[in-house]
Structure 1
């Protein structure tokens, strides 16, 4: 291991400077993750329950729902572009300032959604402005999660990288939980009161999260591994060209890994909510409550899965999460179609809490470990955001369309979930194990020699993971 990196990764909790920087990195990443997923969950739930009536009031309810989910998917068109742009900047100039820029762009666009006029006020310009805000939000979000993932993986102690890299993703659950909680309350209001303008308040409130995230991120220091690149004058002049010429196979592996995780997340967080309310006919607060319970479980299961990946390896844990969605696909959507509130909450909780989030907990360290130091940010961003288009962006629109053309049948969406899960489950057999990899290495994990693999640190015991000793 490089001496600079070794020094940074071997420091323990007794080093005040290291402990302070690790805490700052965790908080900086967590608040950004909370804002992104608060915005996206908020928008997804609003797409399912409100926007078809506010921005597409000229359409019939079924067509309006599809159109509403289409605007939800528009952000995923911009996400790869944002990932490519900001990922390149992050590998050339550093992680910190990219995370400052993305939080401003992403959060600002979400806040402005709450100020948009409706279709009844300005006609076609209302959905046009909504699409513009979604494009700006997606462009900023395209590098937000990649940046948080890379930053924490590079800051985290080597033997506990899976656990620490997963901690900021509690912010994902917190953001989703906050948005779901808002809609549980909104679902109890009379429709005319809700549509009169109350729905705007949660979007306008995004500005509070922006302020907190900016305060923390401006005090953050650059990641240790990027500092090593600067010291050794090894920063790539063209990270984008480098990642496609040297790391295309890992980008494709990352996309495959994300199909069930990202697609499953949006299918159960948004489409399932719309399905049980508009097609099955349950009360409108049931779906958001189910998402909230799943997010509560995720606040535990994400770091738990990260810790398990430190002990048993990234791939076995990831494969288990994919297997949960694979097994749940058909029986889960059939159970949702029955309309029993308790069963709906249970199915969505298992899907999100133990299927999606088990994969996410392992993924937080796995994706950064796949790529070499010179093009890690752009590599993770490219894999994450192109998969976000193929899985997350298309999933709610395609799912709503499948439900519409099948007359409200549950099995086409179940088939969709099953196919996404098969792709990810199969991909886990094509990805090298990366646990404990030296993140200062220039080459990708697939090029590690047998000696480099053998020199990786051994896993810590469960007892040491619970203790307060060295973080290494």
Structure 2
């Protein structure tokens, strides 16, 4: 099909920047939950209990994602990708800004924790609706033969957002005393969300709707009940998309969230060292996400994903002995390798999931697969990892848990299909819009 390169570049930028801004919001909370929110919102006199409570609100953000995937995914297939992505960006930005204004437990007691959970829930709803649309925004403008590369724009968002959030919080931690940071410094990172969202909206409001959705609308093939159609026709695709996400989700939670708690409590390292290590690994990922996405266009996408899954299952058995001496260099090097492995999975992931679904149901289907995976993968991971470490005192069970999730992802790869070239062309027929590409022999 004919590609408008200027529109494609604009869509790629909008997908990347908007997702990065939403994951900045999500990551700022994740870092704060691992380091200070236990004391500020859930004081109990027990450090473990406070951390577990803070991680519970972290999980709420994941548990809210299916609602966002259902509501915004359906809207994305009915009214269009662009409009929905404006709504999700606004919701995430407003929720994050309000977290920065929240009084703590010391001021209003348990009400502070309730308000924090509500705002975290709103963040999760927004992110749940964001991902599917951001992927389609860039991939539906580009050549289907390069879907892996173009769809990776949305995948760059999480490490970019994580890098930015950790950078802001680490800088505040360096510039301020612990007392000042715990009192008001952490709020600055959340307040910055307002300016970032304004930038994201400026980019997204200038976009046109994707060519694929325009053609679907032109042929009057927009679904009226996309969730029902998914349930009737494409449930295998949902299970495949869900399971292939589980291992990468847990891998990411282990190395960007839980490890911050682990190094502070088990190795007597500082939260600033942990944040800097995450920043270094995330910076490496920025270049590798599109590279692995492009590589998946040249080789079998499922095979590349399988290699990454095997590496993910092996690496914790190397990482934890490697950092046992408390060396920052070892921590940073181990984090880089972990996030390179994550990039090998995450870069091709958007294309792998979205191409499981027919074009007219892609937003709903891919959003459901993405968000439901978070419920069994990313949401409980910090809680489970914290509990396992507390019960056993050994990192071996943490590694074993990741191996279990890798096995689930292998099942997802078995269920997934290798599609032929995208059937949607510049002038698709009604039948083409409705059809899922058949699997290769």
Residue 422 of structure 2 corresponds to residue 430 of structure 1: no
Residue 97 of structure 2 corresponds to residue 105 of structure 1: no
Shift of 1:187: 3.5
Shift of 1:201: 0.1
Task: Show the counterpart of 2:404.
Answer: 419
Shift of 1:278: 2.0
Residue 436 of structure 2 corresponds to residue 444 of structure 1: yes
Shift of 1:435: 6.0
Matches of 2:132 and 2:323, distance apart in 1: 33
Contact 2:169/2:189 (8 A) holds in 1: no
The C-alpha deviation readout for 1:140-187, integer Å capped at 9, x for no partner, is 111101111122221111222211221343232221111111232233
Matches of 1:436 and 1:444, distance apart in 2: 11
Instruction: Give the stretch that moved more between structures: 424-433 or 63-72.
Output: 424-433
Instruction: Give the stretch that moved more between structures: 289-298 or 275-284.
Output: 275-284
Secondary structure class of the residue paired with 2:221? coil
Residue 18 of structure 2 corresponds to residue 27 of structure 1: no
Q: Any residues of structure 2 matched to 1:363-382 within 5 Å, and which? A: 363-382=349-368
Task: Show the counterpart of 1:386.
Answer: 372
Task: Show the counterpart of 2:338.
Answer: 351
Residue 50 of structure 2 corresponds to residue 64 of structure 1: yes
Q: Any residues of structure 2 matched to 1:213-362 within 5 Å, and which? A: 213-352=200-339, 354-362=340-348
Task: Show the counterpart of 2:77.
Answer: 91
Matches of 2:35 and 2:211, distance apart in 1: 44
Shift of 1:117: 0.1
Quick one: structure 1 residues 292 and 442, their matched pair in 2 at CA, closer, same or farther if it must change by over 3 Å?
same
Shift of 1:376: 0.7
Shift of 1:449: 6.4
Contact 1:113/1:130 (8 A) holds in 2: yes
TM-score of the superposition, structure 1-length normalised? 0.88
Quick one: structure 1 residues 449 and 70, their matched pair in 2 at CA, closer, same or farther if it must change by over 3 Å?
closer
Quick one: structure 1 residues 356 and 306, their matched pair in 2 at CA, closer, same or farther if it must change by over 3 Å?
same
Contact 2:147/2:297 (8 A) holds in 1: yes
Contact 1:56/1:64 (8 A) holds in 2: yes
Task: Show the counterpart of 1:465.
Answer: none
Instruction: Give the stretch that moved more between structures: 378-387 or 74-83.
Output: 74-83
Secondary structure class of the residue paired with 1:220? coil
Equivalent of 1:211 in 175, 191, 198: 198
Residue 111 of structure 2 corresponds to residue 125 of structure 1: yes
Task: Show the counterpart of 1:55.
Answer: 41
Secondary structure class of the residue paired with 1:370? coil
Shift of 1:404: 1.9
Shift of 1:297: 0.9
Instruction: Give the stretch that moved more between structures: 65-74 or 433-442.
Output: 433-442
Secondary structure class of the residue paired with 2:419? coil
Task: Show the counterpart of 2:429.
Answer: none
Matches of 1:305 and 1:173, distance apart in 2: 14
Secondary structure class of the residue paired with 1:393? coil
Matches of 2:166 and 2:399, distance apart in 1: 23
Shift of 1:248: 0.7
The C-alpha deviation readout for 1:346-405, integer Å capped at 9, x for no partner, is 1121111x2111111111211111100221100000000000111011111111121222
Secondary structure class of the residue paired with 1:437? coil
Task: Show the counterpart of 2:427.
Answer: none
Contact 1:334/1:411 (8 A) holds in 2: no
Shift of 1:90: 0.7
Quick one: structure 1 residues 441 and 315, their matched pair in 2 at CA, closer, same or farther if it must change by over 3 Å?
farther
Contact 1:31/1:209 (8 A) holds in 2: no
Matches of 1:150 and 1:388, distance apart in 2: 19
Alpha-carbon RMSD across the aligned residues, in angstroms, is 1.6
Matches of 1:211 and 1:131, distance apart in 2: 24
Secondary structure class of the residue paired with 1:429? helix
Quick one: structure 1 residues 449 and 401, their matched pair in 2 at CA, closer, same or farther if it must change by over 3 Å?
closer
Quick one: structure 1 residues 435 and 200, their matched pair in 2 at CA, closer, same or farther if it must change by over 3 Å?
farther
Shift of 1:336: 3.6
Task: Show the counterpart of 1:6.
Answer: none
Contact 1:86/1:98 (8 A) holds in 2: yes
The C-alpha deviation readout for 1:77-107, integer Å capped at 9, x for no partner, is 2110110011011111111110000000111
Contact 1:305/1:358 (8 A) holds in 2: yes
Quick one: structure 1 residues 435 and 293, their matched pair in 2 at CA, closer, same or farther if it must change by over 3 Å?
farther
Matches of 2:104 and 2:27, distance apart in 1: 21
Secondary structure class of the residue paired with 2:379? helix
Contact 2:131/2:154 (8 A) holds in 1: no
Shift of 1:288: 0.7
Residue 182 of structure 2 corresponds to residue 190 of structure 1: no
Shift of 1:339: 2.1
